[in-house]
Amino acid sequence: MGKLWAVIKREYIERVRTKWFIIATVFGPLMFAALMIVPAWLTLKTKSAADISSTVIIDATSTGIGARVSEAMRGFGGGPERAPEVRVVPPSELTAAESLATAEVMREAKSGYLVLDQQTTAGESARYAGRHASSLTAMETVREAVRSTVLGYRLEAEGVSADRSRELTTGRLAFRTERITDDGRGGSGAVSAFFGLGIAFLLYMSIILYGQNILRGVIEEKTTRVAEVVVSSVRPETLLAGKVLGVGAVGLTQQLVWVATVVTFLTYRVPIFKLFGIPAPPFQIPGVSPVDGLLLLLFFVLGFVFYAALFAAVGAMVNSDQEAQQAAQPVMLMLVAAAIFIQPVTFNPTGGLATAMSWLPFSSPIIMPLRLSIINVPTTELVGSLVVLLLSTLLVVWLAARIYRVGLLMYGKRPTLKELGHWIRYS
């Protein structure tokens, strides 16, 4: 026990001290903050850049709604005083007016033109052509202006007073989604998907980074031949266990720092966003129940041990980093296969694919936490997946320990599958 502790301590301290660990631990949250702030800031910039007030409104409806649309578009870009110019034309001259406007847009006198005709007042369609056609925010503003104006016009046509119709048509509808779990309400749907994706990605990154870290550690022990001194004092199994636990603890430490800073960042996002002059996005930190937290931890630990043991076995089989790249490919492939399914599972967390990936031990540590944070996974599935993962992890550790024991002191040619079988049998 004391020896295992000594190995864990060495693996942990030697890694936590490195520059890379410190850089990654500090820069991870900074990256996250940048990911939150930069898009918000960019959106703000885009909004002011998309000057829709220099749009020409070509009104061929002979109802005068062009002026009302222009009013509704006032204030978006180019200052509150500027509203788009309205050109009322008879329907027969519409084509000519459009050609003129196109020419104006081409020499940048105008940014675009909006066509309102009979189909618009009928509530069917309107057309925009111009420089901002691909700007989502600009188009959303134009669309909303036309839609509410047309709606108001049609209400008035039905006899509703102008004031009343304005009252009825203004006001954006905010759309919130909320997830209902067994315990009641559990935060917004989008937030938990975001959270789930974050967790899955974090697990995937940790396993890749720290699994490879173990791989390199084993190769270092082999190439420097320090392994021989170490295994003359502790059993190779103890060394393997200490390595996996020590490096796992490093990964967990990093994640805790990351999660803690991200949570702090989100909690104080209003003052932080204010510093950049951006309104803070509405965001609710998802509440994780202790049971869910425990399950996430369990999946991470088992998944990490599963992959770490495999990486250690690969490390014991090879003699150099170059060889390791090739030998680690099957392990990496399993991991990448699991990661490829993150997106489809997020979109359809109850589908057949999601269920299947939750049963397979190589993908369940990544897919299951993802599903857990989006939906309520049936208990039978949850327990089954955990049991399968646990048993496979035990099997993998047992196999890896045997390969490790023999491979650690073998130099030279990489073993073939048949030789690997020998190793497993005679250690």
> Per rule CB under 8 A, is residue 14 in the interface with another protein?
yes
- Contact residue for another protein among 6, 332, 337, 424 (CB under 8 A): 6
- Contact residue for another protein among 140, 225, 268, 276 (CB under 8 A): 225
Determine how many CB atoms are found less than 10 A away from the CB of residue 359.
Answer: 15
On whether the CB atoms of residues 60 and 90 are closer than 8 A, the answer is yes
Determine how many CB atoms are found less than 10 A away from the CB of residue 149.
Answer: 24
> Per rule CB under 8 A, is residue 10 in the interface with another protein?
yes
- Contact residue for another protein among 58, 115, 193, 231 (CB under 8 A): 231
> Per rule CB under 8 A, is residue 422 in the interface with another protein?
yes
DSSP class per residue in 166-213: HHHH-S--------EETTEE-S-HHHHHHHHHHHHHHHHHHHHHHHHH
Q: Is residue 356 classed as helix, strand or coil in its secondary structure?
A: helix
**Stretches 30-38, 96-104, 159-167, 216-224: which one binds another protein (CB under 8 A)?**
216-224
CA distances, 416 to each of 51, 123, 318, 328, 340 (Å): 67, 72, 11, 14, 29
Q: Which is nearer to another protein, 231 or 244 (CB)?
A: 231
- Whole-number minimum distance, CB 220 to another protein, in Å? 7
Euclidean distance between CA atoms 100 and 104, whole angstroms: 6
On whether the CB atoms of residues 362 and 306 are closer than 8 A, the answer is yes
Euclidean distance between CA atoms 226 and 173, whole angstroms: 67
> Per rule CB under 8 A, is residue 409 in the interface with another protein?
yes
**Stretches 26-34, 49-57, 159-167, 228-236: which one binds another protein (CB under 8 A)?**
228-236
Q: Which is nearer to another protein, 69 or 406 (CB)?
A: 406
Radius of gyration of the chain measured on its C-alpha atoms? 31
> Per rule CB under 8 A, is residue 230 in the interface with another protein?
yes
Q: Is residue 10 classed as helix, strand or coil in its secondary structure?
A: helix
- Contact residue for another protein among 93, 143, 220, 356 (CB under 8 A): 220
CA 331 to chain centre: 23
Place of tokens 């190779």: 236
- Whole-number minimum distance, CB 232 to another protein, in Å? 4
> Per rule CB under 8 A, is residue 23 in the interface with another protein?
no
Site for another protein (CB under 8 A): how many residues? 23
Site for another protein in 53-92 (CB under 8 A): none
> Per rule CB under 8 A, is residue 232 in the interface with another protein?
yes
Q: Which is nearer to another protein, 268 or 411 (CB)?
A: 411
Binding site for another protein (CB under 8 A): 2-3, 6-7, 10, 14, 220-221, 223-226, 228-234, 409, 419, 422, 427
